[in-house]
Structure 1
């Protein structure tokens, strides 16, 4: 009964979106023309049962299991973008009242306590350095690039992003820099090459070890100190604090702690520069307490903030204020598209690392899901500068 109801709802949604859904018996639903993106439903009963059990998780799980796939000639990101663009319109208003019934609450085990943060970060970033190398550019930058033109090399666009946020933070010769969430060391190396003294922290052992190796290969170990450390335990004073797409892993409960910690480490006259994925505030309020596919399979403990939430948090808990807000969401859609295509092209290398077909379908869906969010404008990304209020 629930599966039949799920099919009725999905078919109604399809009739509002310029795509096609092709059933095994040849039935076609959707408002798309003959050349529009198409999804091939392989096992409709299994797919609709998954959707009925968990509307927010079932679609991704159905793709992971092979219950549906893309039809020949269709790109997964292009297929998902029209749905993301109409997400708030597709659910019939009379069904939104049942949100509390179908939404699963966030598991307490994914809270971003100091111990929980280590587990959550390790679950994603310690999968394998070789896995990430299979789809990232040689700079190993796992955040949005900044393009001047769409056909330029991804590595060039990634270095532009790094240099821009270092400029935003005022990093120069002699600057004492703290990077919160140092990744594989690309930004720390760039800052050290400007003559800065850099402390970089992270919680993923695999990442920190490779970042240290890359800093040594660059001949910069005397200017870069990379630590396996939580932001809550850092001490010292820094002229510039930089954090690229790390706030998404902090969790709403700890946003005040995060900004208070950064403020406490900031030298007088210093600047904090963060790169953050953002969503509209009304969407944050509607989804912040529910458990979704991304949180279950990709980023446990993750939550994307809104600009309003950041402003409210820093106003209530710190003397900081946001001074600059530079947006480049479409660049993230392009970044994700390139990652996904490279991931697919290197599927044999991914498989050789021990990641099976289900894992690969999981990550293809993850990258396309995020790409659609940015391509549709549902998500955005910004570089923000924060300073103490006068």
Structure 2
């Protein structure tokens, strides 16, 4: 290896990375202390230069293609764990700093989600067969951060608690009109409809909408939910409540004002909105190249400064803000372990390369919520300062009432 050692010597301080070259010789990096030992084999000489120039993308692609594998009991999760505890060392390398400057310069282009392209980007991730997601999600197929009353709660319990937590914040009354922006497989719409409200739910993923309609019918609430295949900017009417879970990550930094202006326009007098999305506690950044290319094209996790700057420009009041710090780490850990248990079924359904891609994705994002800057925020937004109750005790009161039901 000519190039990669220049990077790895600066990068790996905690734990140890053992690289097996195509020739079979082993090269060691790191102290071996305060972290795992990971054994990685490179299967062709080109990886030396390719990994040096763009490690975050090339490591994923090489693992997907079988050009990079792990041995002696090491896994891709172990490798990404080692990466996550040494990430500052990687960011300090001049080549990586140049890469990041380039990504920042292209940030607005990468996150351009005009009408049409936004749907294509979302469909590339969400329009896999529902049977694939059913292998490793909870029974409701909720694909967003759960709410763990305790860290050892089951995934089913935590997702039920999340629905209850959101419904409590919405402070619903029977007969209210609720708009849901980004409805997934319909779990939240079904939960809210059972509370006696009328839900208009929009999504741009065709497969998700078809499954949502089936689930609403089976739950006996199809008459109280209208599902539309529609971009958020195309939704019309006014609503007592607007709720959006796991959607703002797909909006793109160019369109934050469009998103919040849509919410502002949809709210009836006295109404308010509940937004649940992934954010970062660090300054504005970029989307990593692997996630951007293979998982969430057009996606971006905003810094809170970007979120609140947009709210200031649009003129919405923030009535409440809650930060969920470890809840998504616990959620994705459940998903990853479920995925591992069902890996043979995933391969049979989607192929080996796809399974490796999703292994890499789930491990990377799990560790981003453990060692990185990612978290989840929930906001209550309104047009007037007192549309949201001015004392937040109502959230606990509503939550307890829903649990008692």
TM-score by length of 1: 0.90
User: Judging changes above 3 Å, is the alpha-carbon distance between structure 1 residues 110 and 303 closer, same or farther for their aligned structure 2 residues?
Assistant: closer
Provide the rounded CA distance (Å) in 2 between the counterparts of 1:107 and 1:127: 27
Tell me if structure 2 keeps the 8 A contact 1:271–1:386.
yes
Deviation at 1:37, TM superposition (A): 4.2
Provide the rounded CA distance (Å) in 2 between the counterparts of 1:321 and 1:21: 53
Tell me if structure 1 keeps the 8 A contact 2:260–2:311.
yes
Q: Is 1:335 aligned to 2:331, yes or no?
A: yes
Q: Deviations over 1:268-309 (max 9, x none)?
A: 221211111111342x24x26xx6110100111111111111
CA RMSD of superposed structures (Å): 2.4
Q: Is 1:321 aligned to 2:321, yes or no?
A: no
Tell me if structure 2 keeps the 8 A contact 1:242–1:274.
yes
Secondary structure of the 1:268 match is strand
User: Judging changes above 3 Å, is the alpha-carbon distance between structure 1 residues 357 and 179 closer, same or farther for their aligned structure 2 residues?
Assistant: same
Provide the rounded CA distance (Å) in 2 between the counterparts of 1:126 and 1:90: 34
Tell me if structure 1 keeps the 8 A contact 2:8–2:29.
no
Choose the corresponding residue for 1:6, options 4, 20, 28: 4
Deviation at 1:152, TM superposition (A): 2.3
Deviation at 1:118, TM superposition (A): 1.2
Secondary structure of the 2:2 match is helix
Secondary structure of the 1:195 match is coil
Deviation at 1:68, TM superposition (A): 3.1
Q: Deviations over 1:300-329 (max 9, x none)?
A: 11111111111000101x221323222223
Tell me if structure 2 keeps the 8 A contact 1:177–1:240.
yes
Tell me if structure 2 keeps the 8 A contact 1:50–1:61.
no
Provide the rounded CA distance (Å) in 1 between the counterparts of 2:93 and 2:9: 16
Tell me if structure 2 keeps the 8 A contact 1:37–1:75.
no
Tell me if structure 2 keeps the 8 A contact 1:176–1:239.
yes
Q: Is 1:221 aligned to 2:222, yes or no?
A: yes
Paired residue for 2:400?
none
Secondary structure of the 2:237 match is coil
Paired residue for 1:387?
382
Deviation at 1:175, TM superposition (A): 1.9
Provide the rounded CA distance (Å) in 1 between the counterparts of 2:124 and 2:161: 29
Q: Is 1:92 aligned to 2:106, yes or no?
A: no
Deviation at 1:52, TM superposition (A): 3.5
User: Judging changes above 3 Å, is the alpha-carbon distance between structure 1 residues 215 and 37 closer, same or farther for their aligned structure 2 residues?
Assistant: farther
Deviation at 1:7, TM superposition (A): 3.0
Paired residue for 2:340?
344
Paired residue for 1:50?
50
User: Judging changes above 3 Å, is the alpha-carbon distance between structure 1 residues 195 and 19 closer, same or farther for their aligned structure 2 residues?
Assistant: farther
Paired residue for 2:164?
163
TM-score by length of 2: 0.87
Q: Is 1:362 aligned to 2:357, yes or no?
A: yes
Paired residue for 1:40?
40
Q: Deviations over 1:136-183 (max 9, x none)?
A: 111100011111223322011011111111211222322211110000
Tell me if structure 2 keeps the 8 A contact 1:189–1:218.
yes
Deviation at 1:33, TM superposition (A): 4.1
Paired residues for 1:1-390 under 5 Å: 4-14=2-12, 16-23=13-20, 24-33=24-33, 36-43=36-43, 45-74=45-74, 76-92=76-92, 94-95=94-95, 98-99=98-99, 103=103, 105=106, 111-282=112-283, 284-285=284-285, 287=286, 292-316=289-313, 318-353=314-349, 355-390=350-385
The runs of 5 or more residues in structure 2 that have no matched partner are: 386-405
Tell me if structure 1 keeps the 8 A contact 2:316–2:382.
yes
Tell me if structure 2 keeps the 8 A contact 1:77–1:371.
no
Tell me if structure 2 keeps the 8 A contact 1:39–1:68.
no
Paired residue for 2:389?
none
User: Judging changes above 3 Å, is the alpha-carbon distance between structure 1 residues 209 and 25 closer, same or farther for their aligned structure 2 residues?
Assistant: same
Tell me if structure 1 keeps the 8 A contact 2:7–2:93.
no
Deviation at 1:208, TM superposition (A): 0.2
User: Judging changes above 3 Å, is the alpha-carbon distance between structure 1 residues 31 and 69 closer, same or farther for their aligned structure 2 residues?
Assistant: farther
Provide the rounded CA distance (Å) in 2 between the counterparts of 1:17 and 1:98: 24
User: Judging changes above 3 Å, is the alpha-carbon distance between structure 1 residues 77 and 175 closer, same or farther for their aligned structure 2 residues?
Assistant: farther
Deviation at 1:387, TM superposition (A): 1.9
Paired residue for 2:399?
none
